[in-house]
């Protein structure tokens, strides 16, 4: 067989198909979402949020008084209370609107497909894809759309998944192994496969994505529920305080109107965070989807923010997965050039990743060794454990140390002791040695050793350093022997490693970590990873993996990038920090409203309260109206922050707390003073108010 050299260009990095960054926000979105916000004004929707329901009831009550006893002050208060409810709905509508835009692009992938279902007798029948049931077997050939989620049980094919993942480069799906799962709506580009359907109609991967990004199936997370209970409790406390205020005001001879008491209540309860809470949760899910991660529950996103132990597979996650040639070590009787030339000849027709990496290493270090070369290729077999090339009067071989030693011995030679020593050292350091030898005119010559290493991906040490700054402990899981595992763990910079790991070992490690009160996250793609994915607090399954893995995990990475787990943890932390920061701001900005409304209510009978009017607001009416207007406008001002999220930087809990208290605590106190004062400057110009 005559062979020639071939180029092996690296596959170009695919680009996303026009997805918008999760942090992008424009005022145009507010206008586009305005009709949805109006539709949410009904009581059925408002009662889901206790804080906003109180505001809604107050708006109705003040509106009744504005109709029964009209006055400019009452009408303006009623209008701005309705604006408060409307702006709260607008925050949620904008978040949902971005999800609906994504859902619409996903719906376009759900075109009606005709499935070729295999019958028990070996025949085929055509039927609508929507009528397929779990367990049905369908045939898909080049150019056809896969009709439903399933596993490849026969054949191998390249599949275009750009409609789902946004990646333009095709992927390979084949029966057996951990790359058998296919998604309905994707297209087969080559060959023929048989797929066993694993999802019911309406419960496919795309269906679940559409429901999640639209927010239709979003459930409140435990943290969100706890915060809702806290906000409801604060609302009840302020409600009782305002109700108790009226008898005391009557005793003092300054009975307050229902309109003023309602304005006081709305300004004191945590309206801001109550309005933005739902939008923060929806935006957190949206940020994950923008990064091609599907979370089956908000609980998983929230748990990602509290993860303290991260389990990562070595192969394909920390390392490239394929052993690569990293060094050529010549023997004393040879030279680097001779070793490189022999290693190149032995690898020219070797299509394995290891063989290609040898060619790449030689082309980099010995660019003069290029061009075509004819000869008879000797393929690698499990019996010989060698490969090579016979050309002219030369026989060049590369392979395992003992295999090459036996080959040299058959031709009357011996392998130098230094070759054996170097091979042993490479093995002890976690690498794989390949010995290169040749038979020239009947005389065996050993040229040296090629070091193959499972190369750590660039930037991994920096990533793990960032995780340590977050307070997260990293554990590398590998089936390698302890010596190899130790060498790679030290090179990558992980905190700990688990060598010779079996599925039950992973599960036991997860349970030990959880018994210590820690939350555990891990990635996986195989059926053997399913138990550990199910046991983890955050289990990220690869989209290329098996259906069992995707069902067991609570997240699916559409890009099948195991290092994405680091981004998921950052998104989870950003979600928790955003919620905490805006809660702090919401509660802190109530302080300015005390100084605005309370002096205005009782200034007539207690002139000494004028000392508390530090903002020098014009009249009691302008003070109350300015506070209500600010209470509504601050919701709109914070919508971009709620959708984009508070920026997260790795730091300790104490550092993050100090920063948030300084920015959002102190800022929540100062901002309302300036805002209410500025609004009062405009309100005082209104006749009858100022």
User: What are the contacts of 373-379 at 24+ separation with CB within 8 A?
Assistant: 373/3, 373/4, 373/5, 373/345, 373/348, 374/2, 374/3, 374/4, 375/2, 375/3, 375/345, 375/348, 376/1, 377/1, 377/3, 377/348, 377/349, 379/349
Helix (H, G, I), strand (E, B), or coil: what is residue 613? coil
Helix (H, G, I), strand (E, B), or coil: what is residue 603? coil
586 is in an annotated binding site: no
CA distance 358 to 344: 7
b/e burial code for range 268-281 (CB count within 10 A of at least 16 → b)? bbbbbbbbbbbbbb
Which entry of 136, 149, 151, 313 is annotated as an active-site residue? 313
CA distance 623 to 356: 76
CA distance 449 to 386: 13
CA distance 150 to 376: 43
How far apart, in Å, do the first and last CA atoms of the chain sit?
98
CB 149 within 8 A of CB 183: yes
Report how far apart, in Å, the C-alpha atoms of 338 and of each of 102, 457, 519 are: 58, 30, 55
383 is in an annotated binding site: yes
Length of the chain: 690
34 is in an annotated binding site: no
385 is in an annotated binding site: yes
Query: H or E stretch including 126?
Result: strand 124-128
Rg (Cα) of the chain, in Å, rounded? 34
CA distance 348 to 374: 10
Query: H or E stretch including 533?
Result: helix 530-535
CA distance 149 to 311: 28
* Burial category of 92 from C-beta neighbours within 10 Å (exposed 0-12, middle 13-18, buried 19 and up): buried
CB 150 within 8 A of CB 213: no
381 is in an annotated binding site: yes
What backbone torsions phi and psi does residue 499 show, to the nearest 5 degrees? -95, 160
486 is in an annotated binding site: no
CA distance 490 to 499: 13
Report how far apart, in Å, the C-alpha atoms of 669 and of each of 264, 595, 600 are: 17, 11, 19
Helix (H, G, I), strand (E, B), or coil: what is residue 438? strand
CA distance 224 to 278: 9
CB 451 within 8 A of CB 431: yes
Helix (H, G, I), strand (E, B), or coil: what is residue 149? coil
CA distance 342 to 325: 14
CB 231 within 8 A of CB 268: no
CA distance 23 to 643: 7
113 is in an annotated binding site: no
Q: Quick one: tokens of 108?
A: 């376009």
* Whether residue 313 lies in the annotated active site: yes
How many beta carbons lie within 10 A of that of residue 311, not counting itself?
26
380 is in an annotated binding site: yes
- Residues annotated within the binding site for ATP are 350, 354, 380-387, 398
Binding-site positions read 350, 354, 380-387, 398, 525, 529
Pick out the residues of the known binding site for Mg(2+).
Answer: 525, 529
Enumerate the active-site residues.
313
């Amino acid at each position: 067989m005559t062979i020639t050299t071939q180029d092996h260009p690296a596959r170009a990095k695919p680009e996303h198909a026009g997805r918008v960054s999760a942090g992008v926000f424009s005022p145009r979105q507010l206008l586009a979402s305005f009709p949805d916000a109006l539709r949410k004004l009904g009581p059925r929707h408002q009662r889901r949020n206790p804080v906003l329901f109180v505001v809604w009831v107050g708006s109705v009550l003040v509106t009744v008084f504005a109709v029964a006893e009209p006055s400019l002050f009452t009408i303006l208060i009623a209008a701005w209370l309705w604006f408060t409810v409307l702006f709260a709905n607008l925050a949620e509508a904008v978040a949902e609107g971005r999800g609906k835009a994504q859902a619409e692009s996903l719906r376009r992938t759900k075109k009606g497909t005709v499935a070729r279902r295999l019958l028990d007798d070996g025949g085929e029948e055509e039927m609508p894809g929507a009528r397929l049931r779990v367990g049905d077997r369908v045939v898909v050939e080049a150019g056809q759309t896969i009709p439903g989620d399933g596993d490849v049980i026969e054949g191998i094919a390249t599949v275009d998944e750009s409609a789902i993942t946004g990646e333009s480069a095709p992927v390979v799906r084949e029966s057996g192994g951990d790359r058998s799962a296919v998604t309905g709506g994707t297209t087969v580009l080559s060959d023929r496969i048989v797929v066993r359907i694993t999802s019911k109609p309406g419960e496919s991967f795309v269906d679940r994505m559409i429901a999640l990004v639209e927010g239709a199936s979003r459930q409140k997370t435990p943290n969100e529920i706890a915060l809702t209970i806290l906000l409801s409790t604060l609302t009840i406390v302020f409600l009782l305080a305002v109700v108790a205020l009226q008898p005391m005001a009557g005793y003092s001879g300054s009975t307050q109107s229902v309109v003023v008491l309602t304005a006081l209540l709305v300004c004191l309860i945590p309206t801001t965070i109550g309005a933005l809470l739902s939008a923060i949760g929806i935006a957190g899910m949206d940020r994950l989807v923008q990064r091609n991660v599907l979370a089956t529950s908000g609980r998983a996103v929230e748990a990602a923010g509290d993860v303290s132990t991260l389990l990562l597979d070595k192969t394909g996650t920390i390392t490239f997965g394929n052993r690569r040639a990293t060094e050529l070590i010549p023997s004393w009787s040879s030279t680097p050039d001779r070793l490189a030339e022999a290693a190149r000849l032995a690898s020219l027709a070797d299509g394995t990743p290891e063989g290609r990496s040898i060619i790449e290493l030689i082309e980099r270090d010995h660019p003069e060794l290029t061009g075509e070369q004819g000869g008879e290729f000797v393929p690698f077999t499990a019996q010989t454990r060698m490969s090579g090339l016979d050309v002219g009067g030369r026989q060049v071989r590369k392979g395992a140390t003992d295999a090459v030693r036996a080959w040299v011995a058959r031709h009357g030679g011996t392998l130098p002791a230094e070759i054996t020593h170097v091979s042993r050292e490479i093995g002890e350091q976690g690498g794989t040695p390949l010995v290169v030898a040749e038979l020239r005119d009947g005389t065996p010559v050993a040229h040296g050793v090629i070091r193959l290493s499972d190369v750590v991906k660039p930037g991994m040490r920096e990533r793990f350093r960032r995780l340590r700054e977050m307070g997260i402990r990293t554990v590398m899981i590998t089936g390698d022997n302890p010596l190899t595992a130790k060498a790679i763990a030290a090179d990558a910079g992980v905190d700990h490693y688990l060598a010779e790991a079996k599925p039950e070992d992973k599960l036991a490690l997860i349970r030990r970590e959880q018994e210590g009160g820690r939350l555990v996250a891990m990635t996986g793609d195989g059926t053997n990873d399913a138990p550990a994915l199910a046991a983890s607090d955050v289990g990220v399954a690869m989209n290329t993996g098996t259906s069992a893995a995707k069902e067991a995990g609570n997240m699916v990475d559409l890009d099948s990038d195991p290092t994405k787990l680091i981004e998921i943890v950052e998104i989870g932390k950003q979600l928790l920090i955003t919620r905490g920061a805006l809660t702090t701001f919401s509660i802190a900005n109530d302080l300015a409203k005390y100084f605005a409304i309370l002096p205005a209510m009782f200034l007539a009978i207690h002139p000494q309260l004028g000392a508390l009017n530090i903002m020098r607001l014009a009249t009691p009416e302008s003070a109350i109206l300015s506070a209500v207007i600010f209470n509504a406008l601050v919701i709109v001002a914070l919508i971009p922050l709620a959708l984009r999220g508070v920026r997260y930087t790795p730091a300790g809990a104490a550092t993050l707390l100090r920063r948030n208290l300084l920015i959002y605590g102190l800022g929540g106190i100062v901002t309302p003073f300036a805002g209410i004062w500025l609004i009062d400057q405009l309100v005082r110009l209104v006749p009858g108010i100022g």
